[in-house]
């Protein structure tokens, strides 16, 4: 059975919620660790912005792998602007897709790399509480 629920409203909501977290990150926090050992806060922001750019590329009809899942050259005080630009592009690209051309649900495949535990990297198990990063609601560290 194929789920044909339109994912765009949920994605727009996630984009808005993520923006509030990105807005709370100060340049002094960019070198802090995240629960995923491969990413500090700067690398995680780069991955988020790069991922949104990939979402936009797919919505525009391109291939997601045409661009790396990272944003290069963003100044330390430019992450919120970079996020907002990528978010606006992604929202605009997916706004024009209609059922007459291609269904949004049929264009999206979510691929989440998982650790040996079966959870995405950085997602703690019930016995691994994550503590909040001071001054950044939504950011947590193990």
Per residue in 36-53, pLDDT (tens digit) is 999 999 999 999 999 999
pLDDT in tens, 85-116: 999 999 998 887 654 355 444 444 444 443 44
Q: Can you give the pLDDT at residue 80?
A: 98
Q: Can you give the pLDDT at residue 115?
A: 41
Q: pTM for the full model?
A: 0.68
- The Cα 121–Cα 35 span in angstroms is 8
On the question of pLDDT at 20 being above 80, the answer is: yes
pLDDT above 90: percentage of residues in the chain: 45
State which fold the 8-141 domain adopts. Answer: 1.20.120
On the question of pLDDT at 133 being above 80, the answer is: no
CB within 8 Å of 117: residues ≥ 6 apart:
125
pLDDT in tens, 52-64: 999 999 888 888 8
Task: Give the start-to-end residue ranges of the domains of the chain.
Answer: 8-141
Are 131 and 141 in contact by the 8 Å Cβ rule? The answer is yes
Number of residues written out for the chain: 142
Average of per-residue pLDDT across 19-39: 95
On the question of pLDDT at 77 being above 50, the answer is: yes
CB within 8 Å of 139: residues ≥ 6 apart:
21, 24, 25, 29, 34, 41, 132, 133
């Amino acid at each position: 059975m194929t789920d044909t629920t339109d994912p765009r409203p949920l994605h727009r909501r996630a984009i808005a919620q993520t923006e509030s977290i990105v807005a709370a990150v100060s340049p002094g926090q960019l070198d802090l660790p995240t629960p995923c050992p491969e990413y500090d806060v700067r690398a995680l922001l780069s991955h988020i912005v790069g991922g949104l750019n990939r979402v936009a590329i797919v919505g525009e009809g391109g291939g997601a792998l045409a661009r790396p899942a990272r944003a290069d050259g963003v100044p330390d005080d430019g992450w919120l602007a970079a996020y907002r630009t990528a978010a606006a592009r992604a929202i605009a690209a997916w706004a024009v897709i209609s059922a007459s051309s291609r269904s949004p649900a049929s264009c999206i495949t979510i691929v989440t790399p998982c650790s040996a535990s079966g959870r995405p990297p950085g997602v703690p198990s019930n016995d691994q509480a994550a503590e909040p990063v001071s001054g950044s609601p939504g950011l947590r560290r193990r």
